[in-house]
A and B are shown apart, each in its own frame.
Chain A
Amino acid sequence: MADEETPSDSSLLVIIVDTNPNQRYITEDPKILTNCLDAIISFANSHLMQKSRNQLAVIGCHFHKSEYLYPSPGKPLDVRQIDGQYELFTLVEKTIKMRLVNLIKSQPQDEKPGESLLAGALALALCYIARLRRQSTPGLRISSRILIVTGSTDTAAQYINYMNVFFTAQKQQILIDVCSLDKHLSLLQQGCDITGGLYLKVPSLEGLLQYLLWVFLPEASERTKLVLPGRGRVDYRAACFCHRELLTIGYVCSVCLSVFCKFSPICTTCHTVFKIGGPLPIKPKKKKLKT
């Protein structure tokens, strides 16, 4: 857990690839997924190329479940060099492609693809990072980050999961980077802002690799030195628990901090009964505080 300035000895990157077939760019042209995947694999290998101690994990996020694409659990594949490529890079490429095929094959045929559950994949990534930190030699400075590459939209349904994941990442000083291939993702952008990662909406899928290499390859200590896209404004409005709408003024239960858009006598979350006339007597008392 090095602070921002000192370069780390080893840098761990977890890439989360959204493979959900209902992403718009895939439904338009299914072949494009292969191109994107190639770009992501090359990016992953470039990360490994930076330092000999760099580490990598890739997680595929499909609509029915998330799974590690690299490393494969248990014994690694037996890979022999076929051309001039560095053996480890070949292993990464082969493993990812093979396991992705298995993941896609395992999708239930009768179910309609739903939302990509990126929060679950993020939780996996955090567990993996926590494990590598536990196992590392004491004294080794590891900097960790997570990169999400997705073309899905984000909805408020996963809000709590997202937030828990973001705060955990923030506490463990793990950056969350997001590379959006399609729409603007306001929730994930909040995650980038909370953890200090970068958010980029790629203008076109052509040259995805170049975007990845330019923006997301530098690790935390190097980012301050390079000129990279800025943070931008982040929308931090709360969504109410009753209708999931974004609010500028709302009511908050003092017991459990649930947000409501209208005053109601009973909190639906913790079942607390509020004092009648709830919000009104508070204000004058609060004012006394400011003396």
Chain B
Amino acid sequence: MADEEDIKEYRWETGYEKTWEAIKEDEDGLVEGLVAEFAQKAARRAVAPRKGPVRLGMMRHLLVAIDCSEAMNCQDLKPSRFLCTLKLLEKFVEEFFDQNPLSQLGLVAMKNKRAERITELSGNVRKHVKAVENLINTPLTGEPSLQNTLEFAGRALRPLPSHASRELLVLFASLTTCDPGDINTTIHSLKTDGIRCSVIGLAAEVRICKKLCQDTGGEYGVVLDDVHYRSLLSEATCPPPRARVLDAGLVKMGFPHSAPVNVQNDPTANADPPITVCMCHLEEGEGVSGEGHLCPQCRSKYCSLPAQCRTCGLTLASAPHLARSYHHLFPVEPYEELLNESQAQYCFACLRLFTDVDKQVYRCKRCLEFYCWECESVVGATLHVCPGCASRPNLYQRLPDTS
């Protein structure tokens, strides 16, 4: 991927894209049909299909470094780069844990040539969101240091277990970096440790960032506006293809069973469970309640999942956490695109009547039902279930091939 991009000339060196020539009027001198077609194509490009079950790094460990230098004061993103970043970051944190339930996230601030930890690597959504909210009052001064940030990330990510992915995402507003030594050696050591670095630039493309991303296998993007910023961030929430250096492992995991086990012999089974303190809030002294999830190994209590048991080290999760990523394993087979020759009057899934504007219809190769392009994208991008197949007794199961 990275190599291909290198060959490509700069945008200003390419020939004119005569975008206006693509627009043609129909017999009535209208462009409505064409506009609808463009919208269709753009929407379809946005959900570029992911090919087959790839091996993904599902257990991610991601550090997000936020530039807190003077450059963040700039008001080209509204209301300012920093406030816009924080606003989007809040959504990013939620989306990240939505997509990667068993992953861990950590926040780092880059300010005054140093890298400071804001939150530790952990899977606690609330803690991160709160930390992002608190950042609003951070004074934005000085220059950032990319090298220090990379070194910091290296120190934090190196000790992680070998089956976990290690990633760094830098939100970089400055065009300069103030480094103590040779940044190339740092980049090299990150590369050997298999730490994947991605950068989202808020100003303009910077060569060293590009090199960093290329060498470590990350993605480099420069934002055009706030909407583009958001889409770049949301791309970072999808689990990346698995780096080769990683080992695979089986992780022992506990699935806490919230119902009390000894219902029969407990006379007070119907009463509320005894009030106890949960382990996650032990230090803060709050979180006293009856409900909770008990670690199946040592029976310590946690108020939210996923968590790692502080007593016995077992990873605790509930089944839906794992199930959130199953769609990566069993993706829907892409539908085939056919020219609309009135094979069907309406879309099987949403009952929308096909009209002249629908140049294409889509057909599932398994259940042979016809779908409109909107449903096709819904099924492929979010639903991950083919409505036709899922309601056929001979097609609904998509278990992994045992062969």
Interface residues of A, Cβ cutoff 8 Å to B: 61, 63-66, 68, 71, 73-74, 111, 114-115, 117, 119-121, 123-124, 126-128, 130-131, 134, 157-161, 163-168, 171-172, 190, 194, 233-239, 241, 247-260, 263-264, 267-270, 272-275, 278-279, 282-283, 285-290
Contacts and interface: CB of A to CB of B under 8 A. Distances in A.
Q: Which 8 A-B residue pairings sit nearest by Cβ, starting from the closest? A: A120-B391, A120-B390, A127-B349, A238-B319, A131-B350, A163-B323, A236-B318, A123-B387
A269 B169 CA distance: 30
A127 B393 CA distance: 20
Main secondary structure of the interface of B (DSSP, over half): loop
B323 A117 contact: no
B96 to A, nearest CB: 14
Interface string B109-128: 00000000000010000000
B210 interface: no
Contact of B253 (A171, A250, A256): A250
Interface string B337-375: 000000001110111110000000000000000000011
Contacts of A171: 98, 382
Contacts of A234: 258
Contact of A165 (B161, B383, B393, B398): B383
Interface stretch (B52-60, B85-93, B215-223): B52-60
B250 A239 contact: no
A249 B297 contact: yes
Nearest to B348: A124
A74 B345 contact: yes
B400 A117 contact: no
Interface stretch (B1-9, B199-207, B325-333): B325-333
Q: Which residue, of B121, B345, B346, B393, has the highest number of chain A Cβ atoms within 10 A?
A: B393
A73 B353 CA distance: 8
Which of B351, B353, B375 has the most A CB atoms < 10 Å from its CB? B351
Nearest to A75: B353
Nearest to B312: A283
B386 A272 contact: no
26 contacts: A66-B391, A73-B346, A74-B345, A127-B347, A130-B378, A131-B374, A134-B374, A157-B397, A161-B390, A165-B385, A171-B382, A194-B320, A236-B256, A237-B319, A238-B255, A238-B322, A249-B314, A252-B252, A257-B326, A259-B322, A263-B250, A264-B250, A273-B248, A275-B248, A282-B252, A286-B308
Given A167-B324, A248-B254, A255-B55, A274 B391 contact: no
A111 B345 CA distance: 29
A65 B391 contact: yes
A163 B255 contact: no
Given A160-B330, A290-B310, A65 B255 contact: no
Contacts of A258: 329, 400
Contact of A115 (B253, B313, B393): B393
Contacts of A130: 350, 374-375, 378
A204 to B, nearest CB: 22
Contact of A249 (B163, B296, B396): B296
A119 B257 contact: no
B180 interface: no
Nearest to B397: A157
A270 B400 CA distance: 9
B345 A278 contact: no
Contacts of B44: none
Contacts of A237: 255, 257, 318-319
B160 interface: yes
B264 interface: no
A282 B161 contact: yes
A140 B317 CA distance: 38
Given A71-B351, A121-B391, A270-B329, A239 B346 contact: no
B254 A282 contact: no
B296 A127 contact: no
B343 to A, nearest CB: 15
B18 to A, nearest CB: 32
B389 interface: yes
A218 B29 CA distance: 50
A254 B55 contact: no
Nearest to A115: B393
A256 to B, nearest CB: 5
Contacts of B15: none
B36 interface: no
Interface string B150-167: 000000000111111000
